[in-house]
Amino acid sequence: MRYPSYLEQNFTFPRFCRVRMHYPHLQIDDLEDAVRRASNEVLPGSGIRAGHRVAIGVGSRGIANLPLIIRALCRQLIQMGALPVIIPAMGSHGGATETGQAEVLKTLGVTAEFCGAPIRSSLAVKQVGMAFGKVPVWFSQDALKADHSIILNRIKPHTKFKADIESGLSKMLCVGMGKHRGALAYHKWALKFGFAALVKEMAQTIITNTNFRFGIGIVENAYDQTLKIEALPGQRIAAREPALLEIAKVNFPRLPISQADVLIIGQIGKEISGSGMDPNVTGRAFDLKESDFSDVLQATRIAILNLSAKTQGNAIGLGNADFITEKLFQATDYQATLINALTSISLRKAFIPIRLPDDRKVIQACFTTLGPVPADTVRAVIIRDTLHLSEFWVSNALKPEISQTQGAKILENMYLQFDKKGNFCAPYVR
């Protein structure tokens, strides 16, 4: 394939430097004890007794220590004589198939052998009520067949809207435990009633009309490690989740700049963000009025180099970039990506950007499509992904600003290096 002359010619990139960010590093070291303490707050009033079957809804997010937390919860239930069973709570993820969702859990390390509980993967749901008198509310049949159901999810800023309740337990109830049908209903009717208002109403309908007992909320620190584990009875979720969200927002990692000419992202994936790459980091979203993240970062060009292994080909979010590599394109399972985009009504996230043969050409295109801007003045940032921001690369044009940032330490200087196939050789870009 022929390219414009400015892409065929040799290009001299400016010097870069590696930056290390120092965030508050509080975390839970004894996870099993933390799960036991949290669950002991809610189990006595839950109605769960020896011999009862308990369905545990587990999502597809790349939550730190997820298998360990689930195993600890299963052990707690087994010790009291209950019979836990794990069910995928994923909406459209895993290609919206039973085998696909079971495979997602396996990829995350959640297996029957490790956690000590069988896994039941089914998309079958039952309608359990109506929200706002018009929206059908669905709930997993596997969960309803059990004596009790509980959920576990990370509480964090959402990638599509901003409110006092965003991504967490309430959303897991109506979208994850509602399976594909519930996810479709939520995203369709949210265009009428609003994302935040509808998630609260649907969650309350489920809490009132089903066997749901409590949720385990997880908050992570800026290093993607477990900061807080808290168990909430169903009727306390609406009141308590906003406070946990505020803790998550305070500890959410972000780039210490507000404007960039170029943002290079090493990989995207569903376990990294529900949107593949988090707009709370990139500032780039094209969904709705509720999706303006430009106050976070404004980047003129965004490029993605690869997909994560755990995303299993789901490339949702690639449409928010300007350039991608050929290897990313070839690794994409477009069927899974399309189902995710259509279910969430985030159509732009499945658009195919301009694709170029390798990392070098992609990064070069970001620089050379800015206009008559000298390369050594380009404000460029290279990150592994939007979940891991403790270390990243910045061009020398950003060095003065970064050096004045509290908590930022500038490490070695270097020029960008590429192997014979044009792959970027930074140690964290896989």
Q: Which residues of 118-138 are buried (b: 16+ CB within 10 A; e: fewer)?
A: ebbbbbebeebbebeeebbbb
Cα–Cα dist 350/260, whole Å: 24
pLDDT at 92 over 90: no
Confidence band, pLDDT 50/70/90 cuts, at residue 6: low
pLDDT of residue 295: 82
Confidence band, pLDDT 50/70/90 cuts, at residue 3: low
Mean pLDDT of 158-164: 87
pLDDT of residue 5: 64
What mean pLDDT, rounded, does the chain reach? 92
CA-nearest of 303, 318, 423, 283 to 366 is 303
CA 321 to chain centre: 17
Give me the residue label for tokens 């000590």: 116
Answer for the pair 375, 14: CB distance below 8 angstroms, yes or no: yes
pLDDT at 41 over 60: yes
pLDDT of residue 117: 97
- Token code pair at residue 171: 């959303």
Query: Given the DSSP bridges, would you call strands 135-140 and 391-395 parallel, antiparallel or unpaired?
Result: unpaired
pLDDT digits (tens, 9 = 90+) for 224-268: 899 999 999 999 999 999 999 999 999 998 899 999 999 999 999
pLDDT of residue 285: 86
pLDDT of residue 37: 96
Domains by residue range for the chain, with CATH: 5-23+254-415 (no CATH), 31-250 (3.40.50.11440)
pLDDT of residue 427: 62
Answer for the pair 23, 222: CB distance below 8 angstroms, yes or no: yes
pLDDT digits (tens, 9 = 90+) for 340-368: 999 888 899 999 999 999 999 999 999 99
pTM across the whole model: 0.85
pLDDT at 61 over 80: no
pLDDT digits (tens, 9 = 90+) for 110-152: 999 999 999 999 999 999 999 999 999 999 999 999 999 999 9
Give me the residue label for tokens 């070695």: 412
pLDDT at 429 over 50: no
CA-nearest of 140, 70, 155, 129 to 105 is 70
pLDDT of residue 406: 87
Mean pLDDT of 160-170: 91
pLDDT of residue 430: 41
Cα–Cα dist 107/23, whole Å: 29
Instruction: Say if residue 247 is exposed, middle or buried (CB neighbours under 10 Å; 0-12, 13-18, 19+).
Output: middle
60 versus 188: the higher-pLDDT residue is: 188
pLDDT at 289 over 70: no
Mean pLDDT of 383-409: 93
Give me the residue label for tokens 């360990």: 68
Mean pLDDT of 170-175: 95
pLDDT of residue 422: 93
For the chain, report the end-to-end CA distance as a whole number of angstroms. 26
pLDDT of residue 60: 77
